[in-house]
Amino acid sequence: MNDMTPTREEREAKLQGMGCKRKRVEDVRFTQGRGQYVDDLKLPGMLFGDFVRSTYAHARIKKIDASAALALPGVKAVLTAADLKPLNLHYMPTLAGDVQAVLADEKVLFQGQEVAFVIAEDRYVAADAAELVEVEYEELPPLVDPFQAMAEDAPLLREDIKDKTEGAHGPRKHYNHIFDWQIGDKTGTDAAFQGADVTIKEMLSYHRTHPSPLETCQCVASMDKIRGELTLWGTFQAPHVIRTVASMLAGIPEHKVHVIAPDIGGGFGNKVGAYPGYICSVVASIVLGVPVKWVEDRMENLSTTSFARDYHMTTELAATKDGKITAMRVHVLADHGAFDACADPSKWPAGFMNICTGSYDIPVAHLAVDGVYTNKAPGGVAYRCSFRVTEAVYAIERAIEILAQKLGMDSAELRMKNFIKAEQFPYQSALGWEYDSGDYHTAMRKALDTVGYDALRAEQTAKRDAFRRGETREIMGIGISFFTEIVGAGPTRNCDILGIGMFDSAEIRIHPTGGVIARMGTKSQGQGHETTYAQIIATELGIPADDIMIEEGNTDTAPYGLGTYGSRSTPVAGAATAVAARKIKAKAQMIAAHMLEVHHDDVEFDIDGFRVKGLPEKRKSMKEIVWAAYNQPPPNMEPGLEAVSYYDPPNMTYPFGAYLCVMDIDVDTGVYKVRRFYALDDCGTRINPMIIEGQVHGGLTEAFAVAMGQEIRYDEQGNVMGASFMDFFLPTAVETPVWETDHTVTPSPHHPIGAKGVGESPHVGGVPCFSNAVNDAFAFLGSTHIQMPHDHWRIWKAARALGA
Amino acid sequence: MIPANFAYHRPSTIEEAVGLLASLGEEARALAGGFSLIPMMKLRLAAPEALVDLSRIAALKGVREEGPEIVVGAMTTQHQLMSDPIIAAKVPLIPETSAVIADPQIRYRGTLGGNVANGDPGNDMPAVMMTLDATYVLAGPNGTRSVKARGFYEGAYFTAAEPGEILTEIRIPTPAPGAGYAYEKLKRKVGDYATAAAAVQLTMKASTVETIAIGLTNVSETPLLAQDAMTILAGSRLEPEVVDRAVAAAEAITNPASDGRGPAEYRTAMAGIMLRRALARAASRAQG
C-alpha cells in the first residue's frame, strides 16, 4: 500500500456512522433562520381563523350572536356547533375512545373551550371579529377538584354521554367517571400487605403541567374542490395518523388527503393529537374553497391544547424489616379534564402506568386507575415521556425514599438491595412487562462512585448539625432517582392508535452515483433525525452520512408510520432503517460477488464495500456496486437498489439511568440552588453521543421546570391561572443548573442495532430526582413527603410547617 | 395576543407630544419603551385609540447633574442607567435595581420613565425613586409641574399624573458621599416581577444610622415607603431587636395579592426577609 491509501480508521471516520459525534445537519438551516415552519406558509387567497373561547369553566350557552362580527369588513364566516352538526363534525373522536366537542355544543366545559371559529382576511381582523361575537352564558357550578368528581351531588359535566354506563374501557361508576383500569394480582398483593413487616402509604400528587414547544400548534388547510383533494400542513408529530383521521372525518379518500408536517419547533407530546383548530380549518377551507390558516397563541396553547399529568397516586409498598420489598399497591385518580383526550395507545387508558414497579424485583403488585372528568382543559399528553411513564417513575422513586426513611436505611442501599439483577433479564414484571436488558447495579455504583456519595452524605450530616445549632439557615438535599423507562411503542399485538398498529417504517433509495434518499414514518421536531438516521445507514451500508438525505413528514412520499413520541423513533423507525439497509446490503453482496466473479458466500462486508474473503485487495467499493446495480446487474436480477421496511417491534425497549442531584435550600425564602446534577443514562447502543447529550440537557431542563414550578393552576371557579410565560415556569439559561452526563451501554437484545431511545429518559428520571432532593433536605425534620411543584413559596411553607 | 386598532404618532419634541395628547383626547396614551403598555394592549386589557411614541424626543434622554440634583430624562433606558458614569458614582442604587429588571434585551429599550409613570405595582423603580425621594417633572397642556415620587402613586395604575401629562424628567437629590444602599429582590426567574423586594438607602456615622429610607416593591397596590420602619431605625445601631421591630413595622404596611408567586402571607414574610438583607448589605457598604 502506498501512503495515499486511507487507513481503516480513516475510511470508517469518513462515513460518520454510528457512534460518531456528527454535527446536526438540520442546524445549518435552523441556526440561520431558514427553517420552514407552518406559519412561514403563505398561500394566495389564504384566510385566517381565530377562536371565540369560553370565559367560563362550566356554563350553558343560551345564545350566540355573530351578526356584529359578520358585519365587520374582511370577515368571511363564523362557524358554530350549529354549522358543524349537519356534517356530524361538532364532535371528534379522541385517541382515548372518548369524543371531544370541536365547537361547544350547548354547553361549555372548560375555560378557553372553543365556542365559535371566525374566518377573516387577516389575523388582525379575525381577532377583532372574535371579540364581536356575543355569547350569552348561563353559569353552572364548576367541578375543579378531581377528588369531588364522583361525589353524589357533583355537577353533571358530560350531558352528551350521561346515560352511557359503558365507556371505551369498561363500566362507568358515576356520570363523571371515565374508566376503571386494573392490572395485577389484587388478592396476592393484599395478602402480602397484610403479612408485611413494614408498609408505607402516601398520596403522591403529580400536578397538571403542559409542554412548551417554542412553536405552538398550527395548521393550514387547503381544499381543492376541482380535484377533490385536501392538503393539510401542520405541526404534526404523527402526520400519517392525522391523514387517516382527516380522511375518515372529512369523507375524502386517503390518497386524496395530503398531510405535510414541515419543520417543527418542538413537540414534547403537544402535537400528537388532533385539535378543534385543525377540524375547523379543514371545514372552513371546504366551505370557502380557499386555504385557511390557524395559529394558536401562547395563552391558547397553555390553557387549551393538551395538558400533561394531573395524576394523584396513592402509593403503597410492603417490605421485610431488612428492606426487601414484597409488594406494591397503587391507586391513581386521573383528572382528564372535560374530555378524555389522553394520547395513549388505544388499549391503554392509563398508558404504561403499570411500569410503576420500576427497576425493582417486586414479586406481586396491583394497580388501579380511575379516570374522571372535571371542568378543565382535556388531555393529557405524554409530555416528553412515554405514556404515563413519568408518573409511574415518580410514584416508585418517591415511594422508595419514603420506605428507606421508615426503615432507617440509606435509599441507595435500599435500591441496590431490590434491583432486578443483570442475570434476571429478560425479566417478567409483576404488572406484565418483559424488560429486555439492564445492568442496574453497575450503573448505580458508577453514579455513586462518580459523585462521591459517601462524602456528600457526611457533608449533609454536618450541615444538619449546624442547622440544628442555629449556625446556618441553609439545608442540603441529596436526590437520587433510578428509573427504568418503557419506550418504543410498540408491538402491534398490544399497541395501536385508532386500530392502526404501532409499527414504523423506512424506505431507502440509492441513486446510481451513490446519493441516498431515505424516508421514514416518523417526524423530527428537533430530535435530529436527519443526522442520526443517516448515521445508521452509513454504518450499515458503508455510504458516507453526508451523501444520505433524510426526509419525513410528507405523507405522499414517506412510508406510513405512527410518528414521533414516546421515544419511539430510534426503537421502531431506527430498527426499520437498519432492516431496510440490510435488505439493500444483501442485494449489494450479490452484485459485488458477481463483479468479483466469486460466489456470494465468498465475499464479506468491509466498512465501505465488499471484499473477497482472504483476499482483501480484491474488493468493490459501495460506489462501484451501486453504479453496477443500475447499469450492470447480474443476470436475472432487477436493476436498482432500494428497499422498504415496516418494522413491528417484538417488544418495547427499556432504557434506564441513575441520576443524582445535590441541592441547597434557604429555609427563610424557599430559594434553592442545584449545586450538582449528575445523569448517567443507559440507552443501549449510542448512535450520536453529541445528540444524546443534547437530549439529556433538554430533558433535564424540562424536568427541572416541572419539578420546581411548572404548573397549570386553576382557581375554585375553574379559571386558568397564569397561562403565560410570566407565570408558567420556563427556566432561562440563568435558572438552569449545570448538567453532568455519563453513560453505560447495555444494548437491547431484540433491536437490530441494540438502541433503546433516549429523548425522554432525562425528563422521566429528572423529575423524581429533583423532588427527592427537596424531600431529602427536609427529611431530618420529620417530613415524609412534600408535594410538587417545589416552587419557592411551597418550599417555604413546608419549612414553616416543620418548624424550620 | 393581537391588539385592537390604534393610530400611531411619533413626535420629535415635548411640545409636539403634549399637543398631540391634548388634541387626541383621553383615549390616547404616551408610549415609552412599551414593556407595560404593549402587553396590556395585546391582551386587550388596554385599547388606546392612539399611541404617542416618545422614543424620538431627544430632550427626554440622558443624565446630568444640576446643583444638588441628578436629573434623568424620562426616556433614558435601563441599559443606559447601568452604564452611566454619573449614576454609577453617585446613585449606585439605580444600576443595582436596573440589573434585576427583566433581561438585557428589554433593558435596551425599557426606560426609567416608563417604569415609574404608569403606576404598575410590579415595577421596581417606583419604590427606588420613593427611597431616593425623587421628584417627577410632568409636562402638560398647562405647562410643567413637579410631583414627589412619594406622593405620586395612588393605586394600581393610578397616579397623580393628569390625562394629557407626560413625565419628562426624574430629579434625584444627590445622595451624600459614602451612603450605603441595597436593592434586594426575590423573583421566580429572570424577567419576573418581584415576589417581594426592598430598597434601602442610608448614611451611617460611628456605626449609628444617621438617615435612612426604605422602599418596598410589589407587596401592595402601590410601591411603599416604609415610614415607621425608617423612624425605628434612624438613630439606631441596627441592633437585632431594633431590626426585628423595623421589619415587623414594614411587614405591617404590606398588603400583597395572593398569586403565582405565593400566598399573601409568604409575600409579606419575604418583604421582611428582603428588608433584613438589604439593611445588612446597605450598612456594610456605608462609610462612617
Q: What is the CATH number of the domain that holds B12?
A: 3.30.43.10
Which CATH number covers residue A608?
Answer: 3.30.365.10
Kindly state the cell numbers that stand for A346: 388505544
pLDDT mean over A645-664: 98
CB spacing of B263 vs A792 below 8 angstroms: no
Q: Which residue of B has its CA nearest to A132?
A: B4
Do A446 and A519 fall within a single domain? no
B242: domain CATH number is 3.30.390.50
Catalytic site residue from A611, A760, A769, A794: A760
Q: Which residue of B has its CA nearest to A711?
A: B260
Assess if residue A494 is contained within a domain.
no
Amino acid A434: pLDDT: 98
**Whether residue A96 sits in one domain with residue A54:** yes
Domain final position from B117, B143, B173: B173
Question: Which of B41, B42, B266 should be substituted to probe chain A, the one whose Cβ sees the most A Cβ atoms within 10 Å?
Answer: B266
Peptide bond into A452 cis (omega under 30): no
On whether residue B2 sits in a domain, the answer given is no
Task: Answer yes or no: do A735 and B189 touch at CB < 8 A.
Answer: yes
Contact B273 A669 (CB under 8 A): yes
A1 has pLDDT over 60: no
- Do residue A30 and residue A42 come from a single domain? no
Q: Do A721 and B260 touch (CB under 8 A)?
A: yes
Q: Are residues B157 and B184 in the same domain?
A: no
Rounded Cα–Cα distance for residues A119 and A117 (Å): 7
Q: Domain for residue B1, yes or no?
A: no
Report the half-sphere exposure of A104 (CA within 13 A, side-chain side): 31
Cα distances (Å, whole numbers) of residue B251 to A379, B30, B220, B247, B279: 42, 35, 11, 6, 14
Contact status of A633 with chain B (Cβ, < 8 Å): no
A384 as an active site residue: the answer is: yes
CB contact under 8 A, B192 and A726: yes
- For residue A460, what are the β-bridge partners? none
Which of A792, A795, A797 to mutate: most B Cβ within 10 Å?
A792
pLDDT given for residue A602 in this prediction: 98
Question: What 8-state DSSP symbol labels residue B136?
Answer: E
Cβ distance B28 to B48 under 8 Å? yes
Q: Is A760 a catalytic residue?
A: yes
Q: How far apart are CA A129 and CA A321, in angstroms?
A: 68
Contact A722 B259 (CB under 8 A): yes
Q: Spell out the residues 6+ positions from residue B285 whose beta carbon is closer than 8 angstroms to its own.
A: B180, B181, B182
- Cα–Cα dist A777/B9, whole Å: 57
How do the pLDDT tens digits run along chain B, 288 residues long?
Answer: 899 999 999 999 999 999 999 999 989 999 999 999 999 999 999 999 999 999 999 999 999 999 999 999 999 999 999 999 999 999 999 999 999 999 999 999 999 999 999 999 999 999 999 999 999 999 999 999 999 999 999 999 999 999 999 999 999 999 999 999 999 999 999 999 999 999 999 999 999 999 999 999 999 999 999 999 999 999 999 999 999 999 999 999 999 999 999 999 999 999 999 999 999 999 999 997
Domain count across chain B: 3
Nearest to A178 by CA among A186, A188, A187, A168: A168
Cβ contact B257:B156 at 8 Å? no
Do A537 and A627 belong together in one domain?
A: yes
For residues A532 and A548, the answer to whether their CB atoms sit within 8 Å is no
Interface of B with A (CB under 8 A): 1-2, 4-5, 44, 103, 186, 188-193, 195, 259-263, 266, 269-270, 273
Are B33 and B81 contained in the same domain?
Answer: no
Percent of chain A with pLDDT over 90: 97
User: If we measure between CA atoms, which residue out of B147, B154, B96, B86 comes closest to residue B125?
Assistant: B96
Task: Give the pLDDT score at B288.
Answer: 73
Contact A731 B263 (CB under 8 A): no
Note whether B72 and B163 are same-domain residues. Answer: yes
Q: What is the CATH number of the domain that holds B161?
A: 3.30.465.10
Q: Cell for A80?
A: 358554530
On chain B, the residues whose CB falls within 8 A of the CB of A668 are 273
> Are residues A290 and A312 both part of a single domain?
no
Q: Does A214 touch chain B (CB under 8 A)?
A: no
Question: What 3-state DSSP class applies to A340?
Answer: strand
- Give the other-Cβ count within 10 Å of A346's Cβ: 17
**Helix (H) or strand (E) segment spanning residue A247:** helix A239-250
Helix ranges restricted to H, A345-452: 389-407, 411-418, 440-451
Residues contacting residue B225 through CB under 8 Å, at least 6 positions apart? B127, B130, B131, B150, B213, B214, B215, B216
In a domain, A155, yes or no: no
Q: Exposed, middle or buried by CB within 10 Å (0-12, 13-18, 19+), for A600?
A: middle
What percent of chain A stands above pLDDT 70?
A: 100
B188 and A797 in contact by Cβ < 8 A? no
Measuring CA to CA, which residue among A260, A125, A52, A734 is closest to residue B100? A734
pLDDT for position A343: 87
Neighbours of A228 (CB within 10 A): 10
Name the CA radius of gyration of chain B, rounded: 19
Q: Is A626 in the same domain as A665?
A: no
Residues 6+ apart with CB under 8 A from A575: A504, A647, A649, A751, A752, A753
For residue B184, give the 3-state DSSP assignment. Answer: strand
Q: Is A727 on the interface with B (CB under 8 A)?
A: yes
For helices A389-407 and A411-418, angle between their N-to-C axes, nearest 10 degrees: 110
Domain that holds residue A355: 307-489+652-801
Residues A260 and A111 in one domain: yes
The answer to whether A74 faces chain B, any CB pair under 8 Å, is: no
Single-letter code of the amino acid located at A361: D
Asked whether residue B201 is domain-assigned, the answer is yes
Q: Is A737 on the interface with B (CB under 8 A)?
A: no
Residues A421 and A202: their CA atoms lie apart, in Å, by 27
Q: Which of A786, A792, A663 has the alpha carbon at shortest distance from B269?
A: A792
What is the domain-level CATH number for residue A226? 3.90.1170.50
**Is A668 within 8 Å of chain B by CB?**
yes
Is residue B109, in this structure, part of any structural domain at all? Answer: yes
**Chain B residue with minimum CA distance to A796:** B266
Q: Under DSSP, is residue B87 helix (H, G, I), strand (E, B) or coil?
A: helix
More confident residue, A743 or A804: A743
pLDDT level of residue A3 (50, 70, 90 thresholds): low
- Nearest CB to A797; choose among B4, B266, B273: B266
Can you list the positions of beta strands (E) in A542-595? 548-551
State chain A's mean pLDDT as an integer. Answer: 97
Inspect the interface and report whether the beta carbons of A131 and B44 lie closer than 8 Å: yes
Give the whole-angstrom CA distance, residue A272 versus residue A387. Answer: 12
Residues A616 and A691 placed together within one structural domain of the fold = no
Question: What angle is formed at CA B29 by the lines to CA B24 and CA B33, rounded to 5 degrees?
Answer: 140
Report CB contact under 8 Å: B4, A128. Answer: yes
Q: How far apart are CA B85 and CA B93, in angstroms?
A: 13
Of A24, A384, A519, A686, the catalytic one is: A384
Question: How many folded domains does chain A comprise?
Answer: 3
By the 8 A CB rule, do A392 and A352 touch? yes
Of A303, A325, A354, which one is at a domain's C-terminal end?
Answer: A303
Based on the fold, state whether residues B195 and B234 are members of the same structural domain.
Answer: yes
Task: Judge if A332 and A396 occupy the same domain.
Answer: yes
C-alpha cell at A465: 448539625
Residues A113, A118, A119: CA angle, nearest 5 degrees: 140
Other C-beta atoms lying within 10 Å of the C-beta of residue A274: 25
Domain boundary among A647, A672, A696: A647
**B109 and B156 housed in the same domain:** yes
pLDDT for A498 equals 87
A660 shares a domain with A566: no
In this structure, the answer to whether residues B64 and B49 fall within a common structural domain is: no
> Which of A669, A734, A735 best probes binding to B when mutated, by most B CB atoms within 10 angstroms?
A669
- Among B1, B191, B261, select the one facing A299 at the smallest CB separation: B1
Question: What number of other Cβ atoms are within 10 A of residue B56's Cβ?
Answer: 14
Both B267 and B206 in one domain: the answer is yes
Name residues whose C-beta falls within 8 Å of residue A36's C-beta, 6 or more positions apart in sequence.
Answer: A262, A263
Residue B210 Cα distances to A205, A267, B173, B238, angstroms: 53, 59, 17, 11
CA of B1: which chain A residue's CA is closest? A297
Taking the C-alpha atoms of residue A91 and residue A94, their distance in angstroms, rounded to an integer, is 9
How many of the other CB atoms lie within 10 Å of CB of A747? Answer: 18
Nearest to A732 among B190, B195, B273 (CB): B190
CA distance A467 to A473: 6
Residue of A nearest to B42 (CA): A127
Q: Is there a domain that residue A660 lies in?
A: yes
User: Looking at the structure, do residues B195 and B166 belong to the same domain, yes or no?
Assistant: no
> Interior CA angle at A676 toward A674 and A682, to 5°?
120
Co-location of B20 and B92 in the same domain? no
**Residue reference for cell 415521556:** A385
Angstrom distance (rounded) from CA A537 to CA B204? 74
Please indicate, yes or no, whether residues B203 and B239 belong to a single structural domain of this protein: yes
Radius of gyration of chain A (CA): 28
Q: Residue B107 is part of which domain span?
A: 60-173
Torsion sign over Cα B230, B235, B236, B242? negative
**Are B216 and B272 within one domain?**
yes
CB contact under 8 A, B262 and A792: yes
Q: Establish whether the linkage from the previous residue to A490 is cis, with ω within 30° of 0.
A: yes
Tell me the shortest Cα–Cα distance from B66 to chain A, in angstroms: 39
HSE-up of residue A740 (Cα within 13 Å, Cβ side): 13
Average pLDDT over residues A192-209: 98
Q: At what angle do helices A276-288 and A239-250 cross, to 10 degrees?
A: 50
Query: Does B196 share its domain with B243?
Result: yes
Tell me which chain A residue has its CA closest to the CA of residue B270.
A669
Cβ pair A796:B262 closer than 8 A: yes
In a domain, A711, yes or no: yes
CB-based burial label for B146 (10 Å; 0-12, 13-18, 19+)? exposed
pLDDT in tens, A283-303: 999 999 999 999 999 999 999
Examine the domain organization and report whether A120 and A235 are in the same domain.
yes
One domain for residues A49 and A13 = no
Q: Is A434 a catalytic residue?
A: no
Q: A723-743 burial, b if ≥16 CB within 10 A, otherwise e? A: beeebbbebeeebbbebebbb
- Residue B160 counted as domain residue: yes
